[in-house]
Amino acid sequence: MTTHAIIERIAAIVGPQGLLTDPRDLEPYVVDWRGIYRGASPAVVRPASTGQVAAVVELCAESGTPLVPQGGNTGMCGASVPHATGREIVLSLARMNRVLEVDALNNTMTVEAGCVLANIQQAAAEADRFFPLSLGAEGSCQIGGNLSTNAGGVNVLRYGNTRDLVLGLEVVLPDGRIWNGLRGLRKDNTGYDLKHLFIGAEGTLGVITAAILKLYPRPAATATTWTAVPHPEAALEFLSLLRRHCGDRVTAFELVSRNCLDLVLHHIPGARDPLPKAHDWYVLAELSDSHPGHALRRELEVALEAAIENALVLDAVIAENEAQSRALWRMRESIPEAARAEADMLYRHDIAVAVSKIPEFIREARSALVGRFPGVNIICFGHLGDGNLHYNAFVPGRKRNDAAAREARDVTVVVYDIVQRHHGSFSAEHGIGLAKLDEMRRYKSPVEIELMLTLKHALDPRGIMNPGKVLSGDG
């Protein structure tokens, strides 16, 4: 079948509103959010129902036409855009954006995969419930994309990753069959738990069309503190102490180095040091509770007093109101923007090690980088409570438009080799896509890669589902 004939048959399935072929309309679908990966595609298909997705995928399977599932196209690894060959069709879930059911007593919500995350949070709030997944892209990313990347975000410490927030899935398999796993059960040990195969698979094993999500009581009170700590070990002890005092109410625990704060103060208009004196390390911590009132703040004060007595915390400020809390969060959230403004060629690492190993990792990585790259500038911050750091660095003088510097992976190899020695992860939150194929080859064991390829070939023998992503040479 020619591409033209395939597109005509797809048009018959999805109708005129379901198909884009004008190159100007295709533009936003073929370039990734960071503008690093640019592909090409003959068409973007926008089905309106699971039945239409299934019919399109079946046709693609029959004709050997590769396809790329796409949500909000905010992913960080180039997984959501087609290759430059121009053969792959983009399958956008954007029109499948309905909340199908809220079951408040079961604390669940059934949604189509194209629902924008912020709309899901809103629908949960309208039912006096809370959907905890929250990240910078929430105004445009879709739940299908969040599931397919197993997104993290700022509430992982208490509520887990996207994987932990799902009870059931509906998936169109690479041959066009529909697997209906939409069960809102908290207990179900009936064989392999298939939904977990598709979560974090970056669209390489099937198209997620709907999900049943877990809901929680709505937080009525929050308390936010910005504290100075002497070193990362003290930050870890402080986390332990805070959890002893406040239990599950600790929802966020972020580490920030002084260097990060300096960059924010320098580049972000209106940024202000929350504390009177400079310190080497900071923690931004947040508590939340479903009970309103001031008890939470009192609890935080008691925990901070104990931490100061034990020399774990050197100084601290507690937000007096919502605006102050937002200002503290802004210091943390502006770090990536400030780093971009400072460094032309930035090496980014989204790493995880066991929470207990974070201080050792920080020490070893610093000493290795400083030894090899004199003058290196390290931008270390992240979700300490999850053992996940955004450990970025730049070498003064290296420019983005300098091809040799762009190719230089030396900084990255130094960092990931240390991560590997600690049995850590070279991609904690963002996935693999196209960006981390080299690391998959270098750090994953042959057994792990073989198991993944076995699953890929079993589910997608024709290799049509987002080929070349996650596993290279999977076709």
Residues contributing to the site for ligand FAD (CB under 6 A)? 33, 68-76, 79-80, 93, 113, 135-137, 141-142, 144-146, 148-149, 151-153, 202-203, 207-208, 429-430, 466, 469
Residues 6+ apart with CB under 8 A from 323: none
> Could you give the 3-state DSSP secondary structure of residue 30?
helix
The minimum distance between CB 310 and ligand FAD, in angstroms, equals 31
Residues 6+ apart with CB under 8 A from 191: none
Q: Which residues pair with 287 in a beta bridge?
A: 223, 250
Q: Which is nearer to ligand FAD, 42 or 431 (CB)?
A: 431
Exposed/middle/buried for 447, CB within 10 Å: 0-12, 13-18, 19+?
A: exposed
Nearer Cβ to ligand FAD (212/312): 212
| 207 vs 464 by CB, closer to ligand FAD | 207
Task: Tell me the closest approach of the beta carbon of residue 137 to ligand FAD, in angstroms.
Answer: 4
Q: Closest distance between ligand FAD and the C-beta of residue 228, in Å?
A: 24
206 vs 178: CA distance, rounded Å = 10
- Residue 132 CB, shortest distance to ligand FAD, in Å, is 13
Does an H or E element contain 396, and which? none
Closest distance of CB 458 from ligand FAD, Å: 17
Kindly compute the dihedral angle of the four CA atoms of residues 216, 220, 226, 229, in this order, to the nearest 10 degrees. Answer: -50
Nearer to ligand FAD, 113 or 283 (CB): 113
Q: What are phi and psi of 347, to 5 degrees?
A: -95, 120
State how far the Cα of 315 lies from the Cα of 327, in Å rounded to an integer. 18
Residue type, 139: G
Q: Least distance in Å: CB of 146 to ligand FAD?
A: 4
Cβ 143 to ligand FAD, closest distance in Å? 8
Place of tokens 């121009």: 86
User: How far is C-alpha 246 from the geometric centre of its chain's CA atoms?
Assistant: 27
Closest CB 233 distance from ligand FAD, rounded Å: 26
Question: What tokens appear for 418 in the block?
Answer: 């240390």
Q: Which is nearer to ligand FAD, 108 or 162 (CB)?
A: 162
Which helix (H) or strand (E) segment is 470 a member of? none
Cα gap 140→70, rounded to integer Å: 12
Within 345-475, where are the H helices?
358-372, 403-407, 410-421, 437-443, 446-459
Q: What is the nearest approach in angstroms of ligand FAD to the Cβ of residue 321?
A: 25
Judged by CB, which is closer to ligand FAD: 245, or 330? 330
For ligand FAD, which is the closer residue by CB, 73 or 225?
73
Residue 429 or 439: the one with the smaller Cβ distance to ligand FAD is 429
CB nearer to ligand FAD: give 214 or 383. 383
Residue closest to ligand FAD, measured at CB: 145
Minimum CB distance to ligand FAD, residue 306 (Å): 31
Assigned token pair, 49? 């129902």
Question: Percent helix, strand, coil in the chain (nearest 5)?
Answer: 40, 20, 40
Rounded distance between C-alpha atoms, residue 176 and residue 55, angstroms: 6
Return the number of the residue (68 or 304) whose C-beta is nearest ligand FAD.
Answer: 68
